Amino acid sequence: MSARMPNFLFIGPDRTGSTWLHQVLGQHPQVFVPKLKDSYFFNRYHHLGLPWYAGLFRDARPEHLAVGEVAHDYLYSDKARTRIRQQLPQVKLLITIRDPVDRAVSHWRFRRRSGATDLGFEDDLQSCPEICEHGLYAKALRNWMRDFPPEQIHFLSFEKLRSAPRRFCGDLATILQIDDALFPKVLPPAVQRAKLPRSSRVIRVTRLIGDRLRDHGFARTWGHMKSSAIAQKILFQSRNVPRPVTCPGAFERIFDEDRKQLEHMTGQSWSSLAGPGV
């Protein structure tokens, strides 16, 4: 088995800049991340074994001071947390905090993009509990903060990523102990726009193909396929998924208590994170 196992993991939440993070880290000469974003190894594909997982990092070289992956679903998985604690006990955990209402809107728009739903925002809230639950950060983090020492858990601000990406890179450099000056001079857009699919049916079939490739251990192949510019042009229109006209006030209040708990748990204020959704 390769000795270059991850020394950092971005574990979530989803819709908090994971695609941007994967792109930017992948361009830093002192960082190695696999071509595939979201291997889902610790929550879905652990049965493939550690040698398979280590194979994702086989191209890491000595100059790569930081070796890791971006896998936003780990945050919500008890199995992933337990396995990571057992198999990567010293790993640094990266978490980005985004205004939860803003995140929920982005989650719904991504579901529209991926063909997972044709419903409007309020109707989809009823059919997909994750839209709300994945913004309850304190609830998701409580067990992680119990199982890992505080010095291994690092919180990042999505608002800083959006408004001051260079400063965000500086935070990453400090956490990962890499050279801030070596991040790319031209950074990608801070937010991945949710493009309308050309065909929801084709998108769903494409996702099934991707799942089958992952199931049979061809995650690297799928990573190359899904990220190609040709695939993106074939699958998606140039128009974005429209934002919902309204956001129910009762929905916003769901997050109030969780936000207070998060501030207590982390010792940080997150009141400044609210901003225009994307």
**DSSP H or E run through 227:** none
Question: pLDDT averaged over the chain?
Answer: 85
Confidence at residue 71, expressed as pLDDT on a 0 to 100 scale: 95
> Which residues are 70's β-sheet partners?
10
Coil, strand or helix at 11: strand
**What pLDDT score does 275 carry?**
42
Query: Among candidates 9, 138, 121, which has minimal Cα distance to 73?
Result: 9
- Residues 97 and 72: their CA atoms lie apart, in Å, by 12
β partners of residue 8: 68, 92
**Helices and strands in the chain, H and E counts:** 14, 7
Please, which pLDDT band fits residue 130 given cuts at 50, 70 and 90? very high
Average of per-residue pLDDT across 29-44: 94
Q: Residue 263 corresponds to which tokens in the numbers above?
A: 């501030």
Residue with tokens 């769901």: 254
Q: Which CATH class is domain 8-271?
A: alpha beta
Check residue 276 and give its pLDDT: 41
> CB of 25 within 8 A of CB of 70?
yes
Helix/strand/coil for 196: strand
1 — pLDDT class (breaks 50, 70, 90) = very low
Structure confidence at residue 217 (pLDDT): 64
249 vs 120, more confident: 120
Global pTM reads 0.81
Tokens of 238: 């140039």
- Strand 195-197 with 236-240, pairing: antiparallel
β 153-157/31-32 pair status: unpaired
Residues 155 and 270: beta-carbon distance below 8 Å: no
Cβ density class 163-201: b for 16+ within 10 Å, e for less: eebeebbebbbebbebeeeebeeebeebbbebbebeebe
Reported as type and span, the H/E element at residue 258 is helix 256-266
Segment 69-88 mean pLDDT: 97
Q: Are 95 and 75 in contact (CB under 8 A)?
A: yes
Residues 197-242 pLDDT 10s: 555 665 666 666 666 666 666 666 655 555 566 655 555 554 565 6
Is the per-residue pLDDT at 180 higher than 90? Answer: yes
